[in-house]
Chain A
Amino acid sequence: MNEASQPTPSAASLIEVRNLVKHFPVRAGILQRVSGWVQAVDDVSFSIRRGETLGLVGESGCGKTTVGRTMLRLIEPTSGTVSFNGTDVFGLRGAELKGMRRNMQIIFQDPYSSLDPRMPIGESVAEGLKIHRIGAARERQATVIDMLRKVGLEEYHSRRYPHEFSGGQRQRIGIARALALRPQFIVADEPVSALDVSIQSQVLNILKDLQQEFHLTYLFIAHNMSVVEHISDRVAVMYLGKVAELTERSELFSNPLHPYTQALMSAIPMPDPHVRKQRILLPGDVPSPLNPPSGCRFHPRCPVAMDHCAVQEPAFQEVSPGHWAACWRVA
């Protein structure tokens, strides 16, 4: 691993992720012995500036959700560091860790399973406030109403149960819940993927408005590149546990360097029947993270792979100012 090839931290960085690794054990047999490791996240580094939205995009199995959850310690990492405002998140314990959780919140993908079905939603939204003993009951209630209004819901909604709401509304409730603690950083894990198209735009607009109003920093995880392009300032593309490319949004979409990014973008069907574009069709399926290919993990499917690609993993390097890629073709 090349020490020099790290995006250098700047004073404006709120989050620094360095060499993050998460391997999940696979257990088999009667004795449940570890028979292999799912290399879900394998040496991922990036930073997120205060007030910025970093988009994290990739297909299933690339590790993007694991990155988000490990950063918040919803899953414990295998190795690496994550710092929030200079504080090492992985070194925290007990009351300190709990305190940190106020600053870093999450919005989940599935609006149907992320709200407790037995609690009126007002209580779900207030739960974080209770846990952190913020304010007396009346103040908490006022915060809950305030948050619900911010996401376009009404006071009377607070007494209803999750099943009484649509997917889009539940997602708004999830946003209200994440916001109630006034965090600085929110991991939005596929927040619109489960929603109908016309509801997606409502929720995306709300997320953007709230970011402005509350000076939030987002890690926006998604597999839909069009959505990611719309909401992000910078974008990281992941493949099989690694970051393939990372740069400013406009740079990525006008000048994608990594062959995987190019294939991903060309695969997206455009809602314009006059554009019949030349597709880069990748052969085969995404390999299993249990047994990733040697060298560059993308090489078996890469349309421009060279012999060397199967042998050695390319370093993640700054190929042009602010534009990082891990590819022997552009190194």
Chain B
Amino acid sequence: MQSAWVDAGDKTPLLEVEDLKTYFFTDDGVVKAVDGVDFFVRRGEVFGLVGESGCGKSVSAFSILRLIDPPGQIVGGTIKFDGHSILDLPENEMIDLRGSRISMIFQQPQSSLNPVFTVGDQIAEVLQIHQKMSKRQAWDRAVEILHTVGIPDADSRARAYPHELSGGQAQRVMIAMGLVLNPQLLIADEPTTALDVTIQAQILDLIRELRNRWNTSVILITHDLGVIAEMAERVAVMYAGRIVEQTDVRTLFDQPLHPYTQGLIASIPILGKVLERLEVIPGSVPNLIDLPAGCRFAPRCVARTRHALGICTEIEPDLIRVDARHAVRCWLYQDHGNHRAPLSAH
């Protein structure tokens, strides 16, 4: 099996994830939430991880930060951050890493912030723990970063409690907490999904600006292809615990190869382009406890029936590179045994 990815660029990746497997051992069976995922993120890059619910994108992110609780467990693979393996770090070093070198912001800011502390205190706490600042210094720095993320009247707003903030402001506070220690990598898990679209625009703009200012790498997790198109430089599409396609953002939209990616792009209504009917991906995502043999997308794949492919329901394809920048997991583009790829990727 050839490796799906070899870094062809001249920058060493900040993060390298190889064959990551995170399973949940539940009473109903083993949920293979992440089942062999490979990707890398360069320094200063915005990497998009896109997929629908249950595809494993959030679990991948939590795995990178080793925030998987039982019944979940990372059962395989390697994660290298700045050249060092994360999965065998002792917990106290992991605690150091979180927030200061890798941090994360979440979808529902108001449920991620501690309701009984002021937002200023919560940011200051991060500084006191990681940088051993005094209370006074930490508070001043907290106000400063609240101002940087665009909270008006930062000095008095720092004394507010999370429930007193709007969704947009709470998300800015989360971003402030995520960036106050100037981490090398920010993982943003659906950071704008719960926000109104005009507020979403502000927040995306803020993330982009801060990334430019501090050269922070960003893993942007979302189901929204519009957000991906706007923010991401490279993208991986996930389905049922696997990466099914990975390439730069322009190629993803200009030349999507995987039938799932194609279906996803074709099924979203686009402002300004009105169609009588939207394309539909029939069926629904598989049960991760009881995955079908072969390709996980096969039951819903129109291309499989169109090309009358039998191999799809028997053997799962590997994620292979079709050129230097584009990888796809699909029998349409790979030969195997008696099966000949019916399509060329070019």
A contact set with B: CB distance below 8 Å: 59-60, 166, 168-169, 196-202, 204-205, 208, 223-227, 229-230, 249-250, 253, 263-276, 279, 281-282, 284-286
Contact = CB atoms under 8 A, between A and B. Distances in A.
12 contacts: A60-B196, A166-B284, A169-B284, A196-B285, A198-B281, A205-B277, A208-B277, A229-B269, A230-B278, A269-B230, A272-B253, A284-B152
Contact of A59 (B53, B197, B226, B275): B197
A197 B264 CA distance: 7
Given A223-B196, A264-B198, A270-B230, A197 B267 contact: yes
Contacts of A267: 197-198, 200-201
Interface in B207-230: 223-230
B158 interface: no
A208 B276 CA distance: 9
Closest 9 CB pairs of A and B: A269-B226, A201-B278, A59-B196, A230-B269, A267-B201, A201-B267, A196-B52, A271-B225, A198-B281
Contacts of B53: 196
A264 to B, nearest CB: 6
A268 B253 contact: no
B280 interface: yes
B196 A271 contact: no
Nearest to B272: A253
A198 B237 CA distance: 14
Nearest to B223: A197
A119 to B, nearest CB: 23
A75 B334 CA distance: 59
Given A269-B229, A273-B253, A196 B223 contact: yes
Contacts of A282: 198, 201-202
Nearest to B204: A269
Contact of B201 (A225, A274, A279, A284): A279
In the complex, which of the residues A60, A271, A276 has the most CB atoms of chain B within 10 Å of its own CB atom?
Answer: A271
Contacts of B228: 271
B54 to A, nearest CB: 9
A225 B52 contact: no
B contact face: mostly helix, strand, loop, or mixed: helix
B229 A273 contact: yes
Contacts of A224: 197
B230 A273 contact: yes
Q: Which size bracket describes the interface of B in this complex?
A: 35 or more
B278 to A, nearest CB: 4
A230 B275 contact: yes
A256 to B, nearest CB: 11
A272 B272 CA distance: 12
B280 A201 contact: yes
Contacts of B202: 281-282
Given A227-B269, A264-B198, A286-B196, A279 B205 contact: yes
Nearest to A57: B197
Contacts of A168: 284
Contact of A201 (B168, B205, B225, B268): B268
A169 to B, nearest CB: 8
Given A201-B281, A285-B169, 12 more contacts: A197-B264, A198-B267, A198-B280, A201-B267, A201-B269, A229-B272, A229-B274, A268-B271, A269-B200, A271-B265, A275-B229, A281-B205
B6 interface: no
Contacts of B197: 59, 223-225, 264, 267-268
B284 A199 contact: yes
A271 B226 CA distance: 4
Nearest to A61: B196
Contact of A270 (B167, B168, B271, B277): B271
A270 B226 contact: yes
A226 B52 contact: no
A292 to B, nearest CB: 15
A275 B272 CA distance: 13
A205 B267 CA distance: 11
Contacts of B253: 271-274
B140 interface: no
